[in-house]
């Protein structure tokens, strides 16, 4: 006879597992739903207690007002440029470094990789002042420029080109690739570039796409460095520009602000919906082997 107690424990484990997932979904989803709901309300509905989760008469004009109150089109353009070129630079640097650490032999390799791991423990805020001084004065002195690179796309993109996390993540994924295929490519006379582009990258597509999406999300959400290195409204990305919707005296129209915040997170939701299977597969692939 089957073990009834074991079967009951299995059902109980699944029940509590689904209950925990439901709790996590509520914790994450309720603030998001409240933001979307609030973006369609006026101030009276937003301040109503108990809260009204569904607006009685959706106020779509909040989105129009948010879009026209500040130059959102320019903010979007800046964010797209920063995200595409910034994530692209991180992807190129991460792939090249990960391939080197996974497949090449050179003196001090393990020590250098230890340095990469140590870089993961350095908070990004620590390097903000050195980066600002570098792009503000050092670049101008080194290259003989008339102006520094403050308030430029170069300064927004270049500091984040190197990536310790991407190097580590993709190196772990590359090391799980079957050695027989790589050895066969070597026997056929394939060099490192050919091996990387025709064998390693196609086989490691989930981990590469995973890091690409993580990098894009991080670049899109970046706030502190763009806030410090930019000076004019025309150079602000959308994460900094949406702050202009707030009133300096505190008389905020929260419906308009929530509508503007929806403009910020909407591209990220679309990216995640289309790429979630790659993220899951990539993180799983890179987390099981050292």
Domain annotation covers residue 199: yes
Domain annotation covers residue 237: yes
pLDDT of residue 289 exceeding 50? no
Of 6-10, 90-94, 148-152, the poorest mean pLDDT is in: 6-10
pLDDT for the residue 281: 64
pLDDT for the residue 75: 92
d(C-alpha 12, C-alpha 246), whole Å: 48
Q: What is the mean pLDDT of residues 224-235?
A: 92
Picking from 237, 60, 35, 270, the residue whose alpha carbon sits closest to that of residue 151 is 237
User: In this structure, what CATH number is given to the domain that contains residue 110?
Assistant: 1.10.3720.10
Domain annotation covers residue 37: no
Most confident by average pLDDT, 202-211, 219-228, 245-254 = 219-228
Domain annotation covers residue 184: yes
Domain annotation covers residue 219: yes
d(C-alpha 61, C-alpha 67), whole Å: 10
pLDDT of residue 88 exceeding 90? yes
Query: Among the residues of the chain, which ranges form H helices?
Result: 4-38, 43-46, 61-69, 72-103, 109-119, 128-133, 139-143, 153-157, 164-174, 179-187, 192-195, 201-203, 205-221, 224-229, 238-241, 254-285
CB 229 within 8 A of CB 135: yes
Q: What is the mean pLDDT of residues 139-149?
A: 78
pLDDT of residue 283 exceeding 90? no
Domain annotation covers residue 245: yes
pLDDT of residue 287 exceeding 50? no
Joined together, the tokens standing for residue 115 give 């340095």
In the chain, the number of structural domains is: 1
Q: How confident is the model at residue 111 (pLDDT cuts 50, 70, 90)?
A: very high
pLDDT for the residue 54: 84
pLDDT for the residue 4: 57
Domain annotation covers residue 28: no
Mean pLDDT of the chain: 84
pLDDT of residue 234 exceeding 50? yes
Picking from 158, 157, 140, the residue whose alpha carbon sits closest to that of residue 149 is 140
Q: What is the mean pLDDT of residues 126-154?
A: 85
Q: What is the mean pLDDT of residues 147-159?
A: 90
pLDDT of residue 83 exceeding 90? yes
Enclosing domain of residue 276: 63-285
């Amino acid at each position: 006879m089957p073990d009834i107690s074991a079967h009951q424990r299995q059902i109980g484990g699944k029940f509590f597992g689904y209950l925990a997932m439901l709790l996590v979904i509520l914790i994450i989803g309720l603030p998001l739903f409240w933001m979307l709901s609030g973006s369609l309300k006026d101030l009276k509905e937003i301040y109503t207690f108990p809260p009204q989760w569904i607006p009685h008469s959706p106020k779509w004009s909040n989105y129009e007002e948010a879009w026209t109150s500040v130059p959102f089109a320019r903010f979007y353009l800046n964010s797209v440029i920063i995200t595409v070129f910034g994530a692209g630079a991180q992807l190129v640097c991460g792939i090249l470094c990960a391939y080197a650490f996974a497949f090449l032999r050179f003196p001090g390799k393990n020590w250098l990789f230890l340095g990469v791991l140590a870089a993961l423990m350095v908070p990004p805020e620590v390097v903000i002042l050195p980066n600002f001084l570098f792009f503000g004065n050092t670049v101008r002195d080194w290259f003989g420029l008339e102006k520094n690179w403050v308030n430029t796309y170069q300064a927004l993109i270049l500091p984040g080109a190197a990536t310790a996390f991407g190097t580590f993540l993709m190196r772990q994924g590359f090391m799980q690739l079957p050695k027989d295929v790589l050895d066969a490519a070597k026997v056929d006379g394939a060099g490192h570039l050919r091996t990387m582009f025709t064998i390693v990258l196609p086989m490691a597509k989930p981990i590469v796409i995973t890091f690409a999406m993580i990098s894009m999300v991080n670049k899109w959400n970046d706030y502190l460095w763009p806030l410090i290195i930019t000076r004019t409204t025309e150079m602000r990305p959308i994460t900094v520009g949406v702050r202009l919707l707030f009133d300096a005296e505190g008389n905020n129209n929260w419906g308009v602000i929530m509508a503007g915040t929806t403009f910020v997170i909407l591209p990220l939701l679309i990216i995640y919906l289309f790429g979630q299977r790659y993220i899951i597969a990539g993180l799983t692939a890179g987390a099981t082997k050292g």
